[in-house]
Structure 1
Amino acid sequence: MDTLPYKAKQFFFVLIKLGIVLFAFYFIYKKLTSNNQLDFVNFIESLTKNKMLSLKNGLLLFLLSSFNWFFEILKWQNLVSYVQKITFYEALKQSLSSLTASLFTPNRVGEYGIKSIYYSKIKRKRIMLINFISNMLQMGTTLIFGIIGFLFFINRYNPPINYFKLIILLVSISTIVVLIFLWVKQNTIKIRGIPLSKTKHYIICFPKDVLVKGGLYAIIRYGIFSFQFHVLLLLFGIDMLYLESMVVITTMYLLASIIPTISIFDVIIKSSIAVYLFSFLNLDSIIILTITSLMWILNFALPSIVGSYYVILFKLPKNDMES
């Protein structure tokens, strides 16, 4: 595109933005209408039967989703302040528009590209590293609480475990860790195109107070969306103690987080895992499938629709267009 005139670059950039939005809307539509686990008619019937479409319930769930994204936006604003101070509204635009772009990309890789182009070229690699740190803080929170929940789950429900396969898995993971360590020593690994040695140095030098604050936001956010799942269980008439449901919910998020997937299929993975885990409590699979689908709509589909507005409005700096 370097040889194209400015007007032509503008035109192609508009096409790219429209493509992102259309792909996002298409994937949301396909998810809602082509779910093999729970078709759209049964989904609406389940919501209606359990009075989930009432104004009171809708406001409660919307409020929890809003708080979920409020703390995600605060987390991004806090972390990126190390490179550039931004307002809450700017952080909101960057977070929601990157969600729209990541909806149909593996492991939300589209998020890195969208967030970075909001900044000058000289800052973009650092922005991508900060986004990596942000995701790792959230993943670390999921792993810590998930492992605790998983241990309680095993102790309480004694699920059938193939220990031979488990040993094979642990050996495989250990081998991968050793290979990664050897590659790190040779500086051949790159994260989003950035050598791991530089990444490691950047993370070590990252302000600890900013990291701690970011980690706190990650924990609060985790607490909100896991509590939202618990609230949905109660609204669907499943009378469970908070700690009892959290054992299963944290285990579900742990298992779902370690499976690489495109965001659009994230709900399918979580649904399958949730149905299996809640089967130990003899809960109706239709209710669990409805809850996981509703969680996806509230925390991914609706925010990505809002984010599409900011994708359309986004303009690259003229310097980028002319280069």
Structure 2
Amino acid sequence: MYAKALTYKSHSVLIYLVKISIIAFSFYFIYSKLADNDELSFSQFWTILNSETGFSLQSLLLITVLSCLNWFFEILKWKYLVSTFKRISLKRATEQTLGAHTASLFTPNRIGDYGAKALYFPSNLRAKIMGLNGLGNFAQMCVTTFFGSLGLLFFSSTFPIHFDYKTLHWSQYLIFGLLVTALIVLAKTYLKPETWLLKIKRFLSAISLSLLMKTLLFSTLRYFIFSFQFYLLLQLFQVDLSYLNTMMALSSMYLLASILPSVFVFDVILKGSIAVYLFSFFDINGTIILSCITLMWILNVVLPSFFGSYFVMRFKLPKS
């Protein structure tokens, strides 16, 4: 009995240390991004914010509400995806979405989000959960690709685009390469192609058309919300640029950033480099564009991670 109690206590301490480590890693990366940004220092960013007269309490409240709406539709999307086999409340969906967001903050291309959400469910359901999560991310990627392709088509027909891949951080190539290599090795070692292809086919056949349409709808709403949020930030920085031109450049930026390898926390650097290049065709100051990207990152990545850290600490493994 004593040995069992000791084992349970050791297990609890280990789980607690893992939770603390996840939160510590997440906030270390956030701090390093804000403090050690070669493209835009925090002091420059703060000076620009203080010098702009367009910012007020009302405007800050509005862009924060837009971030809340962005994540509300992401949470709602996850709730409907999970409801295909298990009903969960909006509160539970919020806990899983924000908790997984914090846990995946420092992982390549948010790959940790799959495992983090799966841990909220019993082991026999985790494969299905990862599949549903992949479906939600795929729907968001489809929306980004569709509008990004249109934007890039119009942009390239108006301006000569010559994107410089040298602006990418070397670690993005390295981590992406290691990730792909690891996935190939694991697939060859533990999976038989005919087995997992059959499982994928069965999984997709179980997805209803109504669920797919709802997932695409929520993804589209999110896309237009954070796009409008960026446009609003440009207006607050006194940038005279039409909504259509903003969307043309912005949709191109999101498409290019989404197809290039990146660590999620370095995503702000990648988007910043591409955005500065694209918006330079409209003679917009690069520092203002970087400030908008940084604000978007703070509102849509950093702020939700604070709430997510609370859910990480409350996390408990489900009973089998």
TM-score by length of 2: 0.87
Q: Report the residue type matching 2:238 in the other structure.
A: G
- Checking the alignment, whether the CA contact within 8 Å between 2:77 and 2:136 is kept in structure 1 is yes
Displacement after TM superposition at 1:51 (Å): 3.6
Identity of aligned residues (%): 46
Q: What secondary structure, in the 3-state scheme, does the structure 2 residue paired with 1:36 have? A: coil
- Checking the alignment, whether the CA contact within 8 Å between 1:52 and 1:58 is kept in structure 2 is no
- Checking the alignment, whether the CA contact within 8 Å between 2:54 and 2:238 is kept in structure 1 is no
Given the alignment of the two structures, is residue 95 of structure 1 paired with residue 97 of structure 2, yes or no? yes
Aligned residue-pair number: 293
Given the alignment of the two structures, is residue 55 of structure 1 paired with residue 57 of structure 2, yes or no? yes
Q: Which residue of 2 aligns with 1:138?
A: 140
The correspondence of residues 1-323 of structure 1 with structure 2, limited to 5 A, is 5-51=7-53, 54-160=56-162, 188=192, 195-317=196-318, 319=319
Displacement after TM superposition at 1:121 (Å): 1.4
Question: Aligned partners of 2:54, 2:125: CA distance in 1, in Å?
Answer: 45
Displacement after TM superposition at 1:197 (Å): 3.1
Question: Aligned partners of 2:25, 2:269: CA distance in 1, in Å?
Answer: 19
Displacement after TM superposition at 1:110 (Å): 1.2
Structure 1 runs (4+) greater than 4 angstroms displaced = 187-190
Question: Aligned partners of 2:47, 2:55: CA distance in 1, in Å?
Answer: 10
Change (3 A) 1:248 1:316: same
- Checking the alignment, whether the CA contact within 8 Å between 1:100 and 1:304 is kept in structure 2 is yes
- Checking the alignment, whether the CA contact within 8 Å between 1:24 and 1:103 is kept in structure 2 is yes
Stretches of structure 1 that go unaligned for 5 or more consecutive residues are 163-179
Stretches of structure 2 that go unaligned for 5 or more consecutive residues are 1-5, 165-183
How well do the aligned residues superpose, as a CA RMSD in angstroms? 2.2
TM-score by length of 1: 0.86
Change (3 A) 1:112 1:270: same
Question: Aligned partners of 1:301, 1:229: CA distance in 2, in Å?
Answer: 16
Write out per-residue CA displacement over residues 111-143 of structure 1, whole angstroms, 9 at most, x where no aligned residue: 111111111111111001100101000011000
Displacement after TM superposition at 1:293 (Å): 0.6
Displacement after TM superposition at 1:5 (Å): 2.3
